[in-house]
Amino acid sequence: MKIPDLLENAIEEKLKHVKLTELKQCASNLSEKYMYQERTGETLLNTEIEAFVYAIMRMPATYGAVYTALKNTLEGINYEIHSVLDIGAGTGAATWAISELLKTNNIRCLEREQVMLELGKAFMCKNLKLKDVSWQYIDIVKDNLDIKADLVVASYMLNEIKLKERKNVIDKFIKSCNHILLIIEPGTPEGFKNIKEVQKMAIDNGLNLIAPCTFQGVCPLSDSDWCHSTVRMERTKVHKILKDAVLPYEDEKFSYIALSKEQVDSTGIRILRHPIIEKGRIMLKVCHDGNIEEMVITKKDKELFKNVKKKRCGDRI
C-alpha cells in the first residue's frame, strides 16, 4: 500500500522549502524524544520542522494502519457512517485513510498541537475530498468533548496520555461516539495493553466488539502475549533518506480495537502471528471464536490453503 498521490505531492511541495540536513538532524532528535518521553502527557512536537518530520516519518505507517483497521471494521457492520471525529489527529493521516473508505464529508480533526494542526490542514487543502474537513484545537484531557459523531477514531494517541488520565479520556471517546469507536495503537505489548484497557472499559459500558476480536468478552490472551496486525507500506523517497533505509517498504505493526454501540456478529478466525509457511503446510496461531489455537492447514485443504497463503498477521480467515 502507499499513501495517496495528493498527500505525497503535498509533502514533496513542502520539501522544496526545507534543507535535508536540517530534517535529518530533527528526525534523529525526534525519535529519541519519542523513545523516552511517551506517556508523560508532555508536548512532544513543538516546532514546524518537527511536525513536518513527523509527517514524513509516520504518516505513511499510520495511514496504512488506520486504513487496514477501518476496512476490517466496516466489513463487520451493516449501517452507514455519516460523521467522524479524528481525535489527536496529528497531521491528519487517519482522516486521509478514512476518506478513502467512507463517503462522508462531515469529518472533524481535533488536535492539541498548533503546529500539527496547521500542517495537517495545509496538506488537505488540495484534496477536494478533504476540503470540508474542519480542524479544531482541543486538549482531550482538559477540555470537555461536547461533540458527537458516528465514528470516533483515535490513532496512536492514547499512549501519549498519562496513565492516570486514560480512563477519563477513554470515557470521553465512548460518550462522543454514536456508533463506532476505533482505537489504534502501536503493535507492541505496551500498545496492546492500552487496547485491552479500552476493551474492558467498553465492555463495561455495554459496547460490542467488531474487530479484530472473534467473540464478545474480555481478551483471553495472557499479559505476556499481544494481538497485532501488520501493513506493508511503500516508502517515499524522503522517508528512505531520513531513515537511512535500504528496503523500498516498511512493515508497520499495530494493535487496534473497533467497538460498536449496536449488536454485531464478530465470530470467525483471526490470524494472530505471521503465518509460517513450509512445504505443503501453513502453521498459524489464531483466535477462533475467542479461543487461542494453533492451526495447521495442508495442501489437502485445497481452497483454504490457497486462500490462507495470501494472508498476513491480523487478517481474518
Residues that bind ligand SAM (CB under 6 A): 58-59, 62, 88-90, 93-94, 111-113, 116, 138-141, 155-157, 160-161
CB closer to ligand SAM out of 163 and 276:
163
What minimum distance in Å lies between the beta carbon of 235 and ligand SAM? 16
CB closer to ligand SAM out of 166 and 179:
166
What minimum distance in Å lies between the beta carbon of 288 and ligand SAM? 30
Contact 216/199 with Cβ under 8 angstroms?
no
Nearest to 197 by CA among 266, 205, 87: 205
Q: How far apart are CA 2 and CA 100, in angstroms?
A: 12
For every residue of 178-240, DSSP letters joined together read EEEEEEEEESSHHHHHHHHHHHHHHHHTT-EEEES-SSSSS--S-TT----EEEEEEPPHHHH
What minimum distance in Å lies between the beta carbon of 135 and ligand SAM? 12
CB closer to ligand SAM out of 58 and 239:
58
What minimum distance in Å lies between the beta carbon of 238 and ligand SAM? 17
CB closer to ligand SAM out of 63 and 226:
63
What minimum distance in Å lies between the beta carbon of 63 and ligand SAM? 8
CB closer to ligand SAM out of 147 and 296:
147
State the residue number with the nearest CB to ligand SAM: 90
Q: How far apart are CA 24 and CA 243, in angstroms?
A: 9
